[in-house]
Amino acid sequence: MRFNIEELEVLFPYPSIYPEQYAYMCDLKRTLDAGGHCVLEMPSGTGKTVSLLSLIVAYQQVQPEKRKLIYCSRTMSEIEKALAELKALMKYRTEQLGYEEEFRGLGLTSRKNLCLHPSVKREKSGSVVDARCRSLTAGFVKEKKERGEDVEMCVYHDNLDLLEPHNLIPPGVWTFDGLLKYGESQKQCPYFTARRMMPYCNVIIYSYHYLLDPKIAERVSRELSKDCIVVFDEAHNIDNVCIESLSIDLTEDSLRKATRGVNNLDRKITEMKSTDAEKLQSEYAKLVQGLQEADEARNEDAFMSNPALPDDLLKEAVPGNIRRAEHFVAFLKRFIEYLKTRMKVLHVISETPPSFLNHLRDLTFIERKPLRFCAERLTSLVRTLELTNIEDYQPLQEVATFATLIATYETGFLLILEPFESDTATVPNPILHFTCLDAAIAIKPVFERFSSVIITSGTMSPLDMYPKMLAFSTVIQQSYTMTLARKSFLPMIVPRGTDQSRITSAFQQRNDPSVIRNYGNLLTEFCKLTPDGIVVFFPSYLYMEGIISMWQGMGILDTVWKYKLILVETPDSQETALALETYRTACNNGRGAVLLCVARGKVSEGIDFDHHYGRTVLCIGVPFQYTESRILKARLEFLRETYRIKEQEFLSFDAMRHAAQCLGRVLRGKDDYGIMVMADRRFLSKRQQLPKWIQQALDDKYADLSVDQAVSAAKAFLREMSVPWSRVEQRGVSTWDAEDLAMHKAKQEEEMIRMLEEEAQNGGGMVEVDEYGGDDLDEVMADLDA
Amino acid sequence: MCPVCKSARYLNPDMRFLVNPECYHKMCESCVDRRFSQGPAACPIAGCKRTLRKARFRTQTFEDIKVEREVDLRREVASVFNREEDDFETLQDYNDYLEQVENVTWNLINDIDVEDTRRKMDAYKEENRRQITRNHSNAAQEAISRKAREEEDHELTRLRRADARREDELERQEKSDARKGIINKLATTKGDAASIAREGRRAELKKSSAQRVALDKKRDGDVFAAGTENGDAGSGFTFKGLKKRVAPPPEKPYDPYGGWSAEKEYFSQQDFYDWDYLSNARTDPRHSAGGYDINDYCARALCDAFSGFGVFIEDEVSGRDLGSTPSMATTAAAAVGGERVDAKMEDVF
Ligand code: SF4
Ligand SMILES: [Zn+2]
Ligand SMILES: [Zn+2]
């Protein structure tokens, strides 16, 4: 269907559109016009991706400067889905417009997924694939080949050089599958095709890390121009991604490996001195000038990563005392030895970067400045030495990254040394956590560089938390509700058991048998009444294990077994994948199954339980983080002091976003239906923190139920859902075709005129309607009810 | 295991190993006591003939004995070569310097030309004695101020944390009080329960937001107070970001005009002008109450009258050709000066 948003014609590849999609697109357009960032919360299963793509592509095509779209998503499957959507959209546009637009859309993923080399692609680990690929493609290997040495090279890579550099692949949208097929037929490497074509693409779809992880962003995304439109989809966890990308954990083992790496380097230098001293000398000469010169060759075969380097660092010359290769190696050795001594301490230490640097200098005479250059200097050295087995140097590189980070940032980081794994352990197994506390650091370059950044997800409430935590300002923050022709999901809060006693996963009452029995009861009852699949989320593995074994003792699992197959998520991803597959089979063949999983696990984040794969989701307990963790404590403190976010506020926000994620798993579209049960006393006070679309569907009468009440409500709901019902009834209410849309627009216009008239009469300015005005009050009320 | 007495750690878990920076041979504490209590003696390790003193034995900091030795040498080198970046004209010079120092260290560590290097080092030390001591004291000064800064930061954080805790506590208190209030009200008054509850909550909300504002204010005040207190604590001044090289010139009193002064060049003003027009204003409290000073008026009038003397006609004439339009004030001034009417005056204000 084709329609206009203001003056912009949008081609939407479906015959009808949801009202919230239309609203979403309008807001997107406003953001793009205004040139700024926005945070949008769109209910899951309402076609967020396709709305995004159709609007932005339409926008791109009419703009003369053709702003590039960078679409970032979280998982491989989401990226693939987006590519497929884009492909369908472009096909539709071609049909409608009657001609093919000049357009390129490509996705990028790791070498591991895109490699075609017969032996390399069989490697299991991504870093090994990267390293092996490098040994087959690096510049110096090619030089050697040209000199007539017998070295192996990758033909898929070489063939690329025979093509025109800006036209490695015909225009159009390429899914990963398509890219692989094309690569195979043309004998060209899909990975490098995508990498090299990035500057010529209209749309790039890849993972967050390519933009956020400074180590990767530096080499993949640095050429992207300022006017790109950046979208982070499924961004509810973006702050954690930011933090993880800058945090480093060092263990004794990794330090040992790093030492081995340094010693190897040392040996290589000695070797090279005797065979090819000239190379070292020329590196030295370049370093005298500065890193940038030394790095003009920094291109796609830059294989080692550097943490967020401020520009001035690149322009400045390398400090004299680490210019020579041997000096630098000794420097690294000293630094690693120092870290080793720090690891010997038997009590917990938390330290800020400046204090660490002072101590370091007092003990080893390592100054801050050369430390900052560590990562870059190492990269340069490894390149000069023409090392191919990069994976051996991984731990060393980690140490170098650590050095650079700690010398670069004074605040926003904390060093925590935990000598023992747990409080009860007696054998030390020290871990040095260098944790980033400030999510804004990693994402700052993105906001600074790109004029429009769109952050969107199904669950982002409360919206203003994100701008606060990530330190940016928005043009628009909006949360959309879901328009439904019939009530197709039933959220319920169940704070009481059948016996009216409170149920909660709070730490003090966790092991209370009555609570456990009530939870067991809840599970059995819902297993009885739910058709096909049911998903249960627990706050943590530990809790899940505990409760399962207690249920086993109480005979609850035996009862459940009669109705459903029981499957459990484990931290092992392969086992979990197997469990999921079995679960799906059981749902398909009518046996029905219950999947027990963890709110922060893999299942809760990436797996959809649409239709019969998930008819009920039980959230057992509020998924709070483990608050005794020192890292979390430090972060809470930081948030309070820097962004004035209170501990309780953040913890509850974090718990609720995960809960909302879990709940959203069962509802993946408008013709899907499902039951959402929040079984914890503490959900009562957190009702306002649910996403708007869930809140809106949460009827007051379902907001405080006991288990048996919930059961009867669920039964009634399912009966209602089983009434035959056709999509036609949605028309005009929850889906619009062109006519409905036109009507809506006319109405809007009328409204607008009326407002203007009123305003003229009143003679006053526009009355700001504050949608959230009531929130504060509600919150207090909810707290009071608790 | 101790290489001297061969006693092993598992027999004696408290055993400590010591090294002497003379030769870095490791031995246990009791061996050190036994052999060196009577004064300097030779190292008991076979093949090592060095004489060791007990006082210099110490525990090893680094696992790798080579690094231990390297750090000792570095300490020595660093005490001689302690120049800083500010001492150099360009960064390049500084980097070259760093590299040379590193070369010296490298030689000492790897026993290359030790004699020669040491001799050069000593010579350098002799030549630059004054510079070295100065840099040393600078470094010491810097360390002190750094420490003070750290302590200050620490104190501030502590205060902030205490505040936050207090704030939370207050809030909780408020909330429970308010709840009690509502319940009491519900118990004592007749009427619609819901409306009473709503009323109560609204009041509570208002109070808590007022409180927040108050606390914010208070906190800002506190921080400021703590900062100033610490600034002049103790005898040593701790200025942040002080340039350490040159002692700063004594600070002159602050001059808002940056050296520009309004000296009267062409006239001197009397204290009193006998002018009827003014006498009224001089005595009338309605003028003086507002801070109006008759002398200012006189000064301005005189200035208007005589400033024209500062005009150099030749310059003005050439300036005029560039097409300037005379303003009222300048015309008057020029007229007073008895010169050409259309001369242009630089407008000082
Ligand atoms: S160039 Fe491409 S095909 Fe060849 S090894 Fe690397 S990733 Fe694989
Ligand atoms: Zn001994
Ligand atoms: Zn000895």
Model confidence pLDDT, tens digit, residues A244-261: 989 999 999 999 999 999
Closest C-alpha to A243, from A102, A375, A436, A525:
A436
Report yes or no: B346 at the A interface, CB cutoff 8 Å: no
Region A63-70: mean pLDDT is: 86
pLDDT tens digits for range A612-621: 899 999 999 9
In a domain, B13, yes or no: yes
Region A354-374: mean pLDDT is: 91
> Do A780 and B91 make contact, defined as CB atoms within 8 angstroms?
no
What pLDDT, on a 0 to 100 scale, did the predictor assign at position A106?
92
Residue A403 predicted with pLDDT over 60: yes
Q: Please, which pLDDT band fits residue A561 given cuts at 50, 70 and 90?
A: very high
Region A745-751: mean pLDDT is: 86
To probe the interface with B, which of A368, A636, A781 has the most B CB atoms within 10 Å?
A: A781
pLDDT tens digits for range B172-209: 888 888 888 877 877 777 666 667 667 666 666 666 56
CA dihedral sign, ordered A142, A146, A149, A154: positive
pLDDT tens digits for range B84-97: 888 888 888 888 88
Nearest to A640 among B61, B164, B197 (CB): B164
Same domain for B31 and B70? no
Q: What are the sequence ranges of the domains in chain A?
A: 108-202, 248-408, 489-722, 738-785
For all residues of chain A together, what is the average pLDDT?
86
Report CA A228 to chain centroid distance, whole Å. Answer: 20
Q: Which residue has the higher pLDDT, B20 or A670?
A: B20
Same domain for B112 and B126? yes
Region B51-73: mean pLDDT is: 88
Q: Nearest residue of A to residue B91 by CA position?
A: A317
Percent of chain A topping pLDDT 90: 47
pLDDT tens digits for range B4-13: 888 887 888 8
Closest C-alpha to B4, from B33, B62, B45:
B45
pLDDT tens digits for range A105-163: 999 998 999 999 999 989 888 888 988 888 888 878 888 888 888 888 889 998 988 88
Nearest to B98 among A320, A333, A646 (CB): A320
Task: Give the homologous superfamily in CATH for domain A489-722.
Answer: P-loop containing nucleotide triphosphate hydrolases (3.40.50.300)
Region A602-613: mean pLDDT is: 85
Same domain for B166 and B82? yes
Residue A332 predicted with pLDDT over 90: yes
Q: Which B residues in the span 232-291 are in contact with A, Cβ-Cβ below 8 Å? A: none
Region A674-681: mean pLDDT is: 93
What pLDDT, on a 0 to 100 scale, did the predictor assign at position A527?
94
Q: What is the pTM of this model?
A: 0.79
- Tokens describing residue A785: 């009810």
Report yes or no: A775 at the B interface, CB cutoff 8 Å: no
Region A389-400: mean pLDDT is: 88
Percent of chain A topping pLDDT 70: 92
Residue B235 predicted with pLDDT over 60: no
Report yes or no: A326 at the B interface, CB cutoff 8 Å: yes
What pLDDT, on a 0 to 100 scale, did the predictor assign at position A116?
92
- For A243, A659, B247, the CA distances from A632, given in Å and listed in that order, are 12, 19, 46
Chain A hits for B179, CB-CB cut-off 8 Å, are 784
What pLDDT, on a 0 to 100 scale, did the predictor assign at position B319?
67
A160 lines ligand 1 (CB under 6 A): no
Q: Residue B1 maps to which CATH number?
A: 3.30.40.10
What pLDDT, on a 0 to 100 scale, did the predictor assign at position A306?
44
Same domain for B40 and B96? no
Chain A hits for B92, CB-CB cut-off 8 Å, are 288, 317
For chain A, how far is it from start to end, CA to CA, in angstroms?
A: 48
Residue A691: CB atoms within 10 Å: 29
What pLDDT, on a 0 to 100 scale, did the predictor assign at position A136?
87
A196 lines ligand 1 (CB under 6 A): no
pLDDT tens digits for range A432-441: 999 999 999 8
Residue A775 predicted with pLDDT over 50: no
**Last residue of one domain, picked from the residues B122, B155, B181:** B181
Nearest to B201 among A338, A341, A784 (CB): A784
3-state secondary structure of A675: strand
pLDDT tens digits for range A295-326: 544 444 443 444 445 555 556 778 888 988 99
In a domain, B105, yes or no: yes
**Of A143-152, A601-610, B31-40, which has the strongest mean pLDDT?**
B31-40
CA of A139 to the centre of ligand 1 (A): 14
Question: Atom 8, ligand 1: which residue's CA is nearest?
Answer: A115
A116 lines ligand 1 (CB under 6 A): yes
Same domain for B119 and B156? yes
Closest C-alpha to A649, from A681, A626, A624:
A624
Query: For chain A, what is the largest distance between any 2 Cα atoms, rounded to a whole number of angstroms?
Result: 90
Total domain count, chain B? 2
Same domain for B103 and B136? yes
Ranges A54-58, A510-514, A536-540, B248-252: which has the least confidence:
B248-252
In a domain, B207, yes or no: no
CA of A501 to the centre of ligand 1 (A): 62
Confirm if B29 and B9 have CB atoms less than 8 A apart: no
Residue B309 predicted with pLDDT over 70: no
Q: Which residue has the higher pLDDT, A368 or B208?
A: A368
d(CA B205, CA B179): 12
> So what's the ipTM on this one?
0.76
Q: Please, which pLDDT band fits residue B348 given cuts at 50, 70 and 90?
A: very low
Report yes or no: B104 at the A interface, CB cutoff 8 Å: no
Q: What 8-state DSSP symbol labels residue A768?
A: P
Q: Please, which pLDDT band fits residue A706 given cuts at 50, 70 and 90?
A: very high
In a domain, B315, yes or no: no
Task: Give A158: exposed, middle or buried? Use CB within 10 Å, 0-12, 13-18, 19+.
Answer: middle
Residue B329 predicted with pLDDT over 80: no
- For A62, A434, A736, the CA distances from A406, given in Å and listed in that order, are 46, 8, 55
For all residues of chain B together, what is the average pLDDT?
75
Ranges A104-108, A405-409, B128-132: which has the least confidence:
B128-132
Q: Please, which pLDDT band fits residue B153 given cuts at 50, 70 and 90?
A: confident
Question: Atom 1, ligand 1: which residue's CA is nearest?
Answer: A157
Same domain for B177 and B67? yes
Closest C-alpha to A203, from A87, A344, A94, A365:
A87
Domain hosting B5: range is 1-60
Q: Nearest residue of B to residue A345 by CA position?
A: B61
Residue A783 predicted with pLDDT over 60: no
Same domain for B15 and B84? no
Same domain for B69 and B169? yes
Residue A487 predicted with pLDDT over 50: yes
- Ligand 1 atom nearest residue A114's Cα: 7
3-state secondary structure of A777: helix
**Last residue of one domain, picked from the residues B162, B181, B200:** B181
Same domain for B162 and B76? yes
CA of A157 to the centre of ligand 1 (A): 6
Q: Please, which pLDDT band fits residue A225 given cuts at 50, 70 and 90?
A: confident
**Last residue of one domain, picked from the residues B137, B163, B181:** B181
d(CA A142, CA A154): 10
What pLDDT, on a 0 to 100 scale, did the predictor assign at position B35?
87
3-state secondary structure of A453: strand
Q: Tokens 């003229």 belong to which residue? A: A760
Residue A100 predicted with pLDDT over 50: yes
> In sequence order, which ranges of A409-540 are alpha helices (DSSP H)?
439-449, 465-470, 513-529
**Of A170-184, B132-146, B275-289, which has the strongest mean pLDDT?**
A170-184
